[in-house]
Amino acid sequence: MNNCKSEVYHEKQVKQMCALHALNNLFQQPCSFSKEELDSICQDLSPDCWINPHRSALGLGNYDVNIIMAALQSKGFEAVWFDKRKDPMQLELNNVYGFIMNIPSNCRFKFVVLPFRRRHWIAIRQVKGYYYNLDSKLNLPQKIGTSTELVDFLREQITSPEKELFIIVSKDNEQKKLWLQDVNDNDNDNKDPDNNKMSDS
């Protein structure tokens, strides 16, 4: 994988704002969301809580999945949890806007790695024909490559029980399940009508 500059928008990590960075990196816009907007969503979801359960009590970020899902819904998108028993090859990538992953991350204080881990959000998005890992902890966007290389990348990532993958799709595509291929239909399409055997592809 290559690290790339150029036209790929990539916010880098500040405090515990990885959810904010993941959203802005996903939409490839610096102002898709602000800290104030995400804090407002936190308040809307839990208006009567003195300590909001969806973010850091210190106001440093650390937003949970509910905030990401609500933020996406405000722009007409849904975050669909991917069942890791499925193969990413079954994804209909033409109907997928991007991906957000939740992964474990080491905690640091200055240059010291602390003996516990927290959760970290990263975005994956296609830009001008290639997919990129837009993890805000990377110095530069990491080029994953083609759709085939993306599938291999996702397949490797979801082997970890500590990682979760969310498919970002439009509300219409989510309702019609257009982000997932019909495996049975694909199997039928690949059959040789002359000998009823699976054809090579």
31 catalytic per annotation: no
How many domains are there within the chain?
1
pLDDT, tens digit, for every residue of 81-130? 999 999 999 999 999 999 999 987 654 444 444 434 467 899 999 999 99
SS (H, E, C) the chain: CEECCCCCCCCCCCCECHHHHHHHHHHCCCCCCCHHHHHHHHHHHCCCCCCCCCCCCCCCECCCHHHHHHHHHCCCEEEEECCCCCCHHHECHHHCCEEEEEEEEEEEECCEEEEEEEEEEEEEEEECCEEEECCCCCCCCEEEECHHHHHHHHHHHCCCCCCEEEEEEEHHHHHCCCCECCHHHHHHHCECCCCCCECCC
Which position among 10, 21, 42, 135 bears the catalytic label? 135
CATH assignment at residue 167:
3.90.70.40
Residue-number span of the structural domain to which 67 is assigned: 17-176
1 in a domain, yes or no?
A: no
120 catalytic per annotation: yes
pLDDT, tens digit, for every residue of 7-50? 899 989 777 778 889 999 999 988 888 888 888 886 775 555 54
This prediction's pTM: 0.78
189 in a domain, yes or no?
A: no
49 catalytic per annotation: no
Which position among 4, 10, 18, 44 bears the catalytic label? 18
Which position among 10, 48, 120, 172 bears the catalytic label? 120
